[in-house]
Amino acid sequence: MLDVSNLIQAKSDQLNADDLISGPITVTVQGAQVDNTDQPLVVHIGDNYRPFKPCLSMRRVMAKFWSIDANNWSGQSMTLYNEPSVRWAGKEVGGIRISHMTGINRSESVMLSISKGKRVKYTIQPLTIKPQSQLSQYDDNQLNENLSAWKDAINSGKATPGKIIKKVSASFLLSEQQIETINSLAVNGEKLPEVDL
């Protein structure tokens, strides 16, 4: 097999919104550091992901709900997704947003500035990380509904079967048959290496 997944990643030192086109990811903070650049906060999220460099609005969300001391964030988890309506230089370019966070017990909202003089209410949902033994089985009907979108994402180079399996396995148990079905979506039907879950 000639695995090209490393060849289709953006040439970047950070997680990009395009990396999340195939769906959201739930990650655990390994640590954070300050970087004296335009994106001054570097959040290390492990799982072979490049660091998350949150925009000002998401930095405010993390500081509000976790602490202004980023040293306290290690071990906290969040779900990141691609919000296609994010604008930069007057154009919609997409950006990474947080939908769920550990450390909160109910939906929480904060007012965020989205442009000069315009503020919107932004809501974060609570995130509960279940041990693998408490995960429910992934529904075959849900799998079948997602197959077409996953195949398109794989064919366009925006996802791999391994990444899809990893994302689904964060919330559900996959049967061997379901894993085999997802692996069969590989370009040219090539079976991909096993993924450690």
Q: Does 109 score more than 50 pLDDT?
A: yes
Mean pLDDT along residues 11-18: 85
Q: Are 117 and 133 in contact (CB under 8 A)?
A: no
Confidence grade of residue 193 (pLDDT, cut at 50, 70, 90): very low
| pLDDT (average), residues 36-64 | 91
> The domain containing residue 103 runs over which residues?
13-126
Q: Do residues 71 and 52 both lie within one domain?
A: yes
131 has pLDDT over 80 = no
Same domain, 28 and 44: yes
Query: pLDDT tier at 45 (50, 70, 90 boundaries)?
Result: very high
Given a cut of 50, whether residue 192 has pLDDT beyond it is no
Instruction: With beta carbons less than 8 A apart as the criterion, state whether 196 and 132 touch.
Output: no
Where is the domain boundary, 78, 96, 126?
Answer: 126
* pLDDT score, position 133: 67
Average pLDDT of the chain to the nearest whole number: 85
Asked if residue 103 is part of any domain, the answer here is yes
Q: Mark which of 126, 146, 175 sits at the end of a domain.
A: 126
Instruction: Give the pLDDT confidence of 157-184 residue by residue, as tens digits.
Output: 888 888 888 788 878 888 889 988 998 9
Q: Are residues 110 and 150 in the same domain?
A: no
Query: Which stretches of the chain are assigned E, i.e. beta strand?
Result: 25-28, 31-34, 41-44, 77-83, 87-88, 91-92, 95-101, 108-115, 118-126, 136-137, 172-173
Residues 169 and 91 occupy one common structural domain:
no
Residue 195 lies in a domain: no
Tell me, yes or no, whether 61 and 119 share the same domain. Answer: yes
* Span 15-37, average pLDDT: 89
Q: Are 142 and 79 in a shared domain?
A: no
